[in-house]
């Protein structure tokens, strides 16, 4: 199985939030973790918003190490076209459609790990397997 990890899930690796333990545990169960560069942008933004000082520095460093271990889906024209199709079909938020398009590109055996309820609902309407929410 392949696990696409969205921003809401990956952030829980660095910030102690509700369901952080579950997120970390779920990521540990899958040898193939996938995400997109969008996740890097969103997580870095939220780390800056939520942390400071040495905790922020340490979390940024760990995020860079972690992302090196992920397979990264490019936000190229093909992914963006799929995201636009998903957004038109479902009227979901733009960034959600980019995450979903990236997950779709990884193939039908991919599950989505998210703690974003709206994104999870859209993913399910697309026939995706969703875990986390």
Model pLDDT, residue 107: 93
- Residue 86, SS3? helix
Q: Give how many domains the chain has, as a whole number.
A: 1
| Predicted confidence (pLDDT) per residue in 82-126, tens digit | 999 999 999 999 999 999 999 999 999 999 999 999 999 999 999
Q: How confident is the model over 13-38, as pLDDT tens digits? A: 999 999 999 999 999 999 889 999 99
Q: Cα 122 from chain centroid?
A: 14
In the chain the beta strands, taken as DSSP E runs, fall at 2-5, 33-36, 71-73, 110-113, 129-131
State residue 126's pLDDT score.
Answer: 96
pLDDT band with cut points at 50, 70 and 90 for residue 133: confident
Q: What does the alpha-carbon distance between residue 93 and residue 105 come to, in Å, rounded to a whole number?
A: 18
Which CATH number belongs to the domain containing residue 55 in this structure?
3.40.50.1010
The answer to whether 12 and 62 have CB atoms below 8 angstroms apart is no
Query: What is the residue range of 39's domain?
Result: 2-131
């Amino acid at each position: 199985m392949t696990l696409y990890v969205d921003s809401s899930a990956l952030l829980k690796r660095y910030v102690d939030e509700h369901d952080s333990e579950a997120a970390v545990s779920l990521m540990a169960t899958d040898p193939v973790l996938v995400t997109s560069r969008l996740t890097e942008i969103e997580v870095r933004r939220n780390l800056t918003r939520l942390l400071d000082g040495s905790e922020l520095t340490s979390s940024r460093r760990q995020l860079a190490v972690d992302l090196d271990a992920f397979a990264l889906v490019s936000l190229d024209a093909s992914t963006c076209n799929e995201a636009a199709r998903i957004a038109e079909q479902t009227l979901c938020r733009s960034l959600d459609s980019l995450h979903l398009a990236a997950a779709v590109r990884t193939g039908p055996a991919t599950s989505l790990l998210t703690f974003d309820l709206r994104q999870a609902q859209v993913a399910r309407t697309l026939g995706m397997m969703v875990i986390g929410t």
